[in-house]
Structure 1
Amino acid sequence: MTATFVYDGDCAFCTRCVEFIRRRIPTDAAIVPWHRADLPALGLTREQCLAAVQYVEPGRPALAGPDAIAALLRASRSAWRPLGAALDLPGVGLASWPVYRWVARHRHQLPGGTAACAVPPPRP
């Protein structure tokens, strides 16, 4: 069984990012929208998938957000592997979550994004 990268298939920005991954980042990971994934089999919940992209390898805890992206890059068969390793460096790792959250909050305003991409604000 291979790794699985799970993303929001309803988001045009996310879908465009996945199209880039499929064209330019060779990987054995299955790349699936969370709506079509067998979430219980992957050990994921709908809430986790709404919060961030997910990367699941059999026998390992799921990784989310920038950690998921770093894992996907590290597992690629290409020149993208060093970028995946760089995302794990201490200073970069600390900055990656705030950047990821900013992108997630503004994805409807980014290239390829639409109003349907907007993430509802977190509940208090």
Structure 2
Amino acid sequence: MRTQPVLVFDGDCGFCSTSVRFAERRLRPRCEAVPWQFADLEALGVTPTRAEHEVLWVTPSGVVYGGAQAVAKALLSAGGGRSLVGALLMVPPMRWAAHGVYRLVANNRHRMPGGTAACALPNRQALGL
């Protein structure tokens, strides 16, 4: 059984990888960060389609948080003032705003600094969303 959360991200996306490395260095969330391409998704209870769509936070008990909520959980785990920001992102209306901002960034990550064409998400129809 896992003893710490797992942060699952897109290792093929330069923007995503850079963001996670920044978080590891500066924010220091208490988790294991793993690109979904190298993660045992089945053991984590996550589908490849979902892992490709958003960053995921998987608790040791197997609860999965995605997108802005995964970011909030990472901030909560970092402690200090970052926890306050994470807590704020978990409650409405900040939760709704965070979701909107997350989707905007995720849908345009190929346009973000460090992003490449490999960062572009498949369209929602292809994902069945």
Deviation at 1:77, TM superposition (A): 3.2
Greater Cα offset, 106-115 or 63-72: 106-115
1:77 and 2:76 are equivalent in the alignment: no
1:95 and 2:105 are equivalent in the alignment: no
- Tell me, yes or no, if the aligned pair for 2:45 and 2:62 is still in contact at 8 Å: no
CA offsets 1:60-103 (integer angstroms, 9 cap, x no match): 42000000010011011343111111111211111122211111
Output the aligned Cα RMSD. 1.3
1:108 and 2:110 are equivalent in the alignment: yes
- Tell me, yes or no, if the aligned pair for 2:73 and 2:86 is still in contact at 8 Å: yes
CA distance in 1 between partners of 2:30 and 2:20 (Å) = 14
Deviation at 1:27, TM superposition (A): 2.5
Q: Which runs of 5+ in 2 are unaligned?
A: none
- Tell me, yes or no, if the aligned pair for 2:30 and 2:74 is still in contact at 8 Å: no
- Which stretches of structure 1, 4 residues or more, deviate above 4 A after TM superposition? none
Work out which of the residue numbers 42, 46, 49 in structure 2 matches 1:47: 49
- Tell me, yes or no, if the aligned pair for 2:13 and 2:115 is still in contact at 8 Å: yes
* Amino acid across the alignment from 2:26: R
* Amino acid across the alignment from 1:16: T
User: How many equivalent pairs are there?
Assistant: 124
- Tell me, yes or no, if the aligned pair for 1:52 and 1:64 is still in contact at 8 Å: yes
CA offsets 1:2-46 (integer angstroms, 9 cap, x no match): 100000000000011011111101222000100111111111110
Q: Which runs of 5+ in 1 are unaligned?
A: none
TM-score w.r.t. length of structure 2: 0.90
Work out which of the residue numbers 23, 28, 35 in structure 2 matches 1:26: 28
